Amino acid sequence: MASDPIYAGIELSALLPVLRQLCWDSAAILRAYARGTTPPFGYPPVLSVSDDPKSPVSAADLAVNEHLLSGFASAFPGAPWTILSEETVAQWPQGTPIEAEWLWILDPLDGTKDFLQGTGEYAVHLALVHHHRPVVGLVLLPELDQLWIGVLDHDHAQAWCESPSGERTPVTFSVRVAPAELIPVTSRSHRDDRLEPLMDALGVADGIARGSVGGKVAAILRGETDLYVSLSGRSAPKDWDMAAPEAVLLAAGGAFTHADGSPLLYNTGDYRQAGCLIASHGVSHQALCQAAARAMASIDPDFPL
């Protein structure tokens, strides 16, 4: 890199090693809970639901959350940022943006149902947001030993995948462009009745299902799929679902917007990322958004994009 980007007064070269270690620690914790083995770092085992008032997945959530928060505090004491985690969101007043120029948005376990069902399609999300937009994102896929990292700054953007040994592999978007060739990645667990007619209207190919938004975006980054559409209202994904995957996708040269072309905004006072959201490898993004907006005008004219 020509220069070392600085975030909240901390150079990227000092930030990334800590984030990497926290992510791989989180992978070890989650895999232990998933397999019923003793978690590392002294976190308590949960042998069955009856052994603890919390479910095993809650224990895994909370253990990773504690590890991340304590890791940030230890490595960066006094750093001028605030941390919002899905597990600690209740401590913040609803309907009001958090007063922070720099905000970490964490999801210790994205894809809870997949974690419980043993599909392996769960993730950990870490995103640094500056003035409502992500500038750094990490998406950890523990069962694939993949850590996707995206960095955005004024001079350049870069994204890559790392193994536990630190070996890097590049993003490999597909070369598919025509709508009929584009392969969507869809949700295993969350479906809106309007999604199927929307996908039919877009004229894309048959899709594949993946758990976790991070897992869906990673499928685009690997070139296995080309687009992901989130269509929802009250049950919309939240800031912590979208911020890290979006950061990595944008840093790789992809796109993630509302169907009307407007950007996703974070820490607005409403954690929901509602509407018709489209993530893609970027090449066909504008055409996809325009087609989706036209289709939604017929499918549900009152649906906010």
Q: Please, are residues 87 and 61 in contact by the beta-carbon 8 Å criterion? A: yes
The pLDDT assigned to 189 comes to: 65
Cβ-Cβ contacts under 8 Å for 16 (sequence gap 6 or more): 149
Read out DSSP for 3-39? S--EETTEEHHHHHHHHHHHHHHHHHHHHHHHHTPPP
pTM of the model: 0.95
6-169 is classed CATH 3.40.50.280: no
The pLDDT, as a whole number, for residue 116 is 87
Domain boundaries defined on the chain:
6-169, 179-299
What are the backbone dihedrals phi and psi of residue 275, each rounded to the nearest 5 degrees, phi first? 110, -160
Residue 158: other Cβ atoms inside 10 A: 16
Q: 36-48 pLDDT, tens per residue?
A: 999 999 999 886 6
Residue 192 has pLDDT above 90, yes or no: no
Rounded CA-CA distance 287/189 in Å is 27
Please state, in angstroms and rounded to a whole number, the distance separating the CA atoms of residues 87 and 121. 20
Share of the chain above pLDDT 90, in %: 83
Residues 6+ apart with CB under 8 A from 246: 127, 134, 137, 217, 256, 264, 279
User: Are 154 and 247 a contacting pair, CB within 8 Å?
Assistant: no
- pLDDT per residue as tens digits for the range 215-265: 999 999 999 999 999 998 778 999 999 999 999 999 999 999 999 999 999
CB count within 10 Å of CB 6 equals 13
* pLDDT, tens digit, 9 for 90 and up, residues 11-43: 999 999 999 999 999 999 999 999 999 999 999
Residues 48-65: what's their mean pLDDT?
A: 79
pLDDT tens-digit series, residues 78-108: 999 999 999 989 899 889 999 999 999 999 9
Q: In this structure, what are the phi and psi dihedrals at residue 181, rounded to the nearest 5 degrees?
A: -90, -20
Residues 6+ apart with CB under 8 A from 304: 274, 275
Q: What is the pLDDT of residues 156-189, one digit of tens each?
A: 899 999 999 999 999 999 999 999 999 999 887 6
Q: Which CATH class is domain 179-299?
A: alpha beta
Weakest-pLDDT range from 49-53, 170-174, 193-197, 201-205: 49-53
Reported as type and span, the H/E element at residue 66 is: helix 56-75
E strands in 111-156: 123-130, 133-141, 146-152
Residue 131 has pLDDT above 50, yes or no: yes
> Residue 1: which pLDDT band, with cuts at 50, 70 and 90?
very low
Residues 43, 45, 50, 53: what is their CA dihedral angle, to the nearest 10 degrees? 0
